[in-house]
Amino acid sequence: MDSIKKSAEDRMKKSLAAMEDEFGAIRTGRASAALFDKVKVEYYGSPTPLSQVATISTPEARLVVIQPWDKNVLGEIEKALLKSELSVNPNNDGKVIRINIPPLTEERRKDLVKLAKSTAEQGRVAVRNIRRDANDDLKKQQKEGNLTEDDVKRGTDDIQKLTDQYIEQINEKLDRKEKEILEI
């Protein structure tokens, strides 16, 4: 029974982490290195994450500076940024790339909040699916004679508490992300 609960908790942690990664890619009005996590740069013939070919810093709230370790890759970084879904305008001065993060329009903010809510809902659905799988495993163990009815009841109660905890964490992270997006 403990192994089922442990397995469910591990899977819920992974779902929460995946949702946080998705949140990191949702743009806010503030500059963040996490915005560029999904950007891949063509580096010696293979797509490489931007963070592995350059230093990404945010010296100001609305400015990102990308400094490649190899100056020869500067053009490829610029191409990758222009192709990305971030809709940013990189300024290449031959040494570093500067990106001004423009303030978001009210309409764009609302779209981003919808996207964040959708991402959070996917996280909640994943957690509920994990709960269902764990409860099914408990019932299967009972059918095989490994657990008593009381054990199954206790196990489903524990898994429900776990589910409630993770749903609450998802809701808290969504609230924080919403505030970040709506912040001017």
Rounded to an integer, the average pLDDT of 57-63 is 85
Beta bridge partners of 46: 43
Mean pLDDT (the chain, rounded): 88
Confidence tier at 83 by pLDDT (50, 70, 90): confident
What stretch(es) of the chain map to CATH 3.30.1360.40? 33-100
- CATH code for the part of the protein at 1-26+105-183: 1.10.132.20
Rounded to an integer, the average pLDDT of 41-63 is 87
| pLDDT score for 184 | 62
Out of 3.40.50.300, 2.102.10.10, 3.40.50.1100, 3.30.1360.40, the CATH code matching 33-100 is: 3.30.1360.40
Q: Which helix or strand (DSSP H or E) is residue 129 part of? A: helix 106-143
What stretch(es) of the chain map to CATH 1.10.132.20? 1-26+105-183
pLDDT at 181 over 90: no
pLDDT at 86 over 80: no
pLDDT at 131 over 90: yes
Q: How far is CA 124 from CA 49, 58, 86, 164, in A?
A: 29, 32, 26, 10
- Find out whether 128 and 12 touch, Cβ atoms under 8 Å: no
